[in-house]
Chains A and B, each alone.
Chain A
Amino acid sequence: MPLRLHPHPCVFGRPNGRSAHLRGWVCPILGLALALTGLRAHAAAPSPDTPLSERQDRTWSASCAACHPASATAPASRIPPLAGRDAESTYRTLLAFKQGQRHDATVMPQLVRGYTDEELLRIARHLGRQPTR
């Protein structure tokens, strides 16, 4: 039985949708704090009870799977898989793309400029938690 993160405080007092603005502020901060303290969700199948911040992370990250192989059964590719990579290393690479420091890059600099540094960090951390198998 896979471990699950304890229900996220943000889903408490579920609401009418109007407090979404507040949630948008609170959840990323909590999500980051959790990630930074090393508390990790098991990279098992996320459940429908997954907290909003984690759902945001996985949905943002899911866009990457259009190009990047998301499972070991994907066909061999020049485009690298991202699951299970060290989050700090992924984040540094994304920032290097954003700052124009990767001259071998093609599409990535143009895409990552659409994301804040915090969004990139959350994506990097989420991808790092995914199983490589």
Chain B
Amino acid sequence: MRRRTFLSVGAAGVSLGLSGCAGLSRAPSAHVIVVGGGLAGATAVQTLRRWDPRLTITLVERQDRFVSCPMSNLVIAGARSLDDLTLSYDALERRHIRRVQATLEHLDADRRRVHLSTGDTLSYDRLILAPGVDFRFESIEGLAQAHAQGLALHAWKAGPETLQLHQQLRAMPEGGVFALSIPRAPYRCPPGPYERASLVAQFLKAHKPRAKVLILDANPDIVAKKALFLQAWNTLYPGLIEHRPHSEVTAFDAATTRARLSDGTWIQADVWNIIPPHQAAHATRSLRPDAAQWVRVDFRTFESTVAPGVHVIGDATEAAPRMPKSGFMAHNHAKVAADAVLALLTDQPINETPILMNTCYSFVSDQQAMRVSSVHKWSGDQRTLLPVPQAGGTSSRHSPEEGALAWDWAQNLWHDALG
């Protein structure tokens, strides 16, 4: 194993002292490390570079290519290919963003160092963690084994499982049941499971019209865009989708491919798609005291409330009220965090009035989509981001126009992060 150590000049601790001389800046060698090259992390490195050409930036990412979670339900239904959703990291390297293909093994926030799976140790002046989520397979008895055997895929991180689930859908018997299990909120992409159910239903209607989609929802009701989804299901796929609330899967029996619900009943299905409960990814463990599942941050800076110098963005954060774990939101987190990191590196005031937006598009067929939007502003009284009451809302109904906008949105989001 290679062992190398990069040590950069630690400029973060150098205070200017000459408060009037804003032209004085920190040493040009200030080093920001971003861990995680998903929508949050990739947007962060690109934004840091756009706003500061002199910064030394390293992206630590396990994969050699980016595969988008947004739009990946279209791949499961056979309406898009995984290639349509896959982008390279080459553009980052052209902008002198160093990329290390590795995972974070250990964070030493006191000494401002990260130890990586490659054996490297990197020093930083500011660290941004954008590691996404881990799945808590252990919370459902028998799931880890069933998942490893391909009997209960989640396909909730886009990649090989996305294609595997598409193949299982194609191979499903006529008149079969596709069962989709949704964990209790919060989870990544609140409307995502219902979008998936819609797209699977469209596939079944065309190819296996006697088959059914069964949604086993751990939540008491449809979590997002309920009226819009019900309208779409009733008009496009009447009788094809059954939604069962309060139906948490607690165990899976690989031998009989049955799942047990919290009320003790066993359910049989032909294809099982079990989305396990989530928590913030392992890289954030030292930032989550008392075994908390999500990372608490100051939403003005996205700095961890327990580890100075460490910022956390994207799905790993403990959400502010009504703030979804979405790709759009992760992108907006990255913008606010990038500005805060640059301000804190140069001892400048932080932006006390962040404003973030969100829009989640959901496809209900390969052509038609609808959306939900919100705007979130910092409340000095409540010390968090709060949704602006008079802002936000949903589409009036699904439409091909919004389907086209949804695809353009994704293309642009990918470009802003990776183009």
Interface residues in chain A, defined as those with a beta carbon under 8 Å from any beta carbon in chain B: 7-8, 10-15, 17, 20-21, 23-24, 45-52, 55-56, 58-60, 62-63, 65-71, 73-75, 77-79, 106-107, 110-115, 119
Contact = CB atoms under 8 A, between A and B. Distances in A.
B171 interface: no
A115 B408 CA distance: 24
Nearest to B47: A62
Top 8 closest pairs, chain A to chain B, by CB? A114-B375, A114-B391, A7-B22, A62-B335, A114-B388, A113-B391, A110-B393, A14-B19
A13 B21 CA distance: 9
B353 A56 contact: yes
Nearest to B329: A66
B45 interface: no
A13 B412 contact: no
- Could you say which interface size class chain B belongs to? 35 or more
B391 A110 contact: yes
Given A20-B352, A45-B53, A59-B354, A77 B388 contact: no
Given A21-B352, A62-B47, A114-B357, 17 more contacts: A12-B19, A14-B19, A14-B22, A15-B19, A45-B50, A45-B53, A47-B52, A48-B55, A51-B22, A52-B349, A59-B335, A63-B356, A66-B332, A66-B412, A113-B390, A114-B375, A114-B377
Between B22, B55, B347, the greatest number of chain A beta carbons within 10 A of the residue's beta carbon is seen for: B22
15 contacts: A13-B20, A14-B348, A15-B19, A45-B51, A48-B345, A48-B348, A49-B22, A52-B348, A63-B355, A66-B409, A67-B412, A74-B412, A79-B412, A110-B393, A112-B391
Contact of A67 (B16, B19, B359): B359
Contacts of B274: none
Interface stretch (B140-148, B283-291, B399-407): B399-407
A17 B300 CA distance: 12
Nearest to B343: A55
Nearest to B371: A107
B415 interface: yes
Contact of A24 (B19, B353, B391): B353
Contacts of B349: 10-11, 14-15, 17, 20, 23, 52
Given A12-B20, A110-B393, A79 B347 contact: no
Contacts of B409: 66-67, 79
Contacts of A55: 339, 343, 348, 351
Nearest to A10: B349
A97 to B, nearest CB: 11
Contacts of A67: 359, 408-409, 412-413
A70 B19 CA distance: 34
Interface string B375-390: 1110010000000101
A55 B343 CA distance: 9
